[in-house]
Amino acid sequence: MLIKDLDTKSFRERFAGLTEEKWWWLLLIMLLAGVVRLCIQQLVLSEVLSIKLSGKTDIDGWGMIARNLVRGKGYLRLNKPTATRGPVYPYFLYLIYNVFGIGHYAALAAQIFWNMVNCSLIYALSLELFDHRKTGLLAALGWALYLPETAVDSIWLFSEPLFIVLLLLFSIVLVRGMKSKKVAYHALAGALLGLTALCRPITQAFPLILLPVLFRIYYPDRRFALRSGSLLLICFMLVLSPWIIRNYKTFGMLVPASTFFGYNVHAGNIYLGEDNYLATTDLGASRRKFSNYIMDKQNEFKALNEAEQDLVYRGLAWDVIQRYPWRYVLKSFVRGLVIWFNIEVGNNSRTMNFLVPIFNIPILTLGIWGWLKFSAGGCRWGHPFVILIIYNTLAYMLILENWRFSIPMIPYLLIFGSFAVLRYRHA
């Protein structure tokens, strides 16, 4: 009981410190994050003010679903029931549109707001891991000045900023659960992880990877490991269950998170049989190739619902992968380079081809170094987040490449990288 009380007291004292002499440093960093993103946003958007803004910002269709919800049409994309996008971000946009009207300036302002919130959450997670304010402030500053993320999430309606908020909240609660060994924290962590999967489906299989890691951390207390792990998984599934039930009623089959997997894996691998198979995926060319393939079956394909169409995409992709397994392995490796360093094969160089590696190479290097230093002290609280980074990378490597996929992992690397920098400085 005494240990629990001391642990709770320590937790409260650390956050009480945020309201004392150091709080304004974090506030300044949050304001800096907002100003940087607002400046870049206005600089870019000023060139397209004469063009309908929604057509420029909603390139992934999140706003389209939200507009249909506001107009009472239902959860539709292209006037058909959809599960290509999870419900968390469209329903957030639905709230924005209800309050401010259907337009994208308020939604883009919300992108900036979430990134300011992420600075505070990065700080909070750093406190939980290291109990060191300067580490949190340095990591938050790194996020405020992380230009690759700023260049996309301040201009387009992407789900990454909100996804990162949920992922960091899950991480903070999980660390609290690991340190205090309370099952309630694990239940909340499972629910938050479920929300992340409903925001971006990439995390839908992560609990299966996370549970063995937690069992290892809690060894030899197998009873607590079983209780906490089971509760985390149950709460994760409870959060997903309404969406799964809705999808089953809509499409007549099990769709845990999204009907977009088949399309993505098809687009990323359909060119394995071509000479230029290592070139970065061109989604437009992939769609045209697919249309030519089913030219005599267009009407039959269009008559299928989304989940059935997804199975067609999966089948075609699996056929190609089976015919060229070694090319698939090599292509997956190249995808990893694109995800982290934006090194594209066969494409003309663009600004982001230089900007992403300039930021990501030192962040990745320092992050790995920091985690090794942290783990060398015998602390295993950072293990789930290293596993999360590896899981996220491998999952996308097998499907489709885009450097945006590394953005949600950057906060963790900044946290461990800041720990490494400050530890080296005081060594």
pLDDT digit string, tens, across residues 181-229: 999 999 999 999 999 999 999 999 999 999 999 999 998 888 999 999 9
User: What Cα–Cα distance (Å) separates residue 193 from each residue in 26, 174, 234, 253, 387?
Assistant: 26, 10, 11, 23, 15
> What would the pLDDT profile of 48-106 be if each residue is shown by its tens digit?
444 445 456 888 889 999 999 999 999 999 889 999 999 999 999 999 999 999 887 89
Supply the pLDDT for residue 425: 66
Amino acid at 39: C
Supply the pLDDT for residue 8: 47
Query: Taking the domains of the chain in order of start, what are their residue ranges?
Result: 2-256, 260-427
Q: How far apart are alpha carbons 340 and 20 in whole angstroms? A: 38
pTM: 0.91
Supply the pLDDT for residue 81: 93
Does residue 275 sit in helix, strand or coil? coil
Supply the pLDDT for residue 3: 33
CB of 312 closer than 8 Å to CB of 374: no
Supply the pLDDT for residue 6: 35
Show the low-confidence residues of the chain (pLDDT under 70).
Answer: 1-22, 46-56, 345-349, 425-427
Q: How far apart are alpha carbons 10 and 323 in whole angstroms? A: 58
Supply the pLDDT for residue 342: 92
